[in-house]
Amino acid sequence: MEIDSSGEAFALDNKPSSSARDFLSAARRLVDQGHPSQALQAVVMAMRTQGGDEVVLHILNRPVNSTSIESKKQLA
């Protein structure tokens, strides 16, 4: 069980299944080929195979850290 920055607990399997590894390999290949949107879809599918829809929704609904936004604005 892992705890995220908001203090919520969620299950995390540290050893990806073979299907999750396949999705992550495909994601790397897609990034190398210049297809970042499709790579993101492959990463989401890898997360879904590991933890189901709940994990995907949890990760995608994480609050944005305002300090990281400010530091990105300063770099631009």
- Per residue in 3-47, pLDDT (tens digit) is 445 555 445 556 667 888 999 999 999 999 999 999 999 999 999
Distance CA 39, CA 46 (A): 11
Three-state SS at 64: coil
pLDDT for position 10? 47
Query: What domain range includes position 25?
Result: 17-60
pLDDT of residue 1: 39
Domains identified in the chain, total number:
1
Strand pairing class (9-10; 2-3):
antiparallel
pLDDT at 66 over 50: yes
pLDDT value for 2: 47
| Residue 68 in domain | no
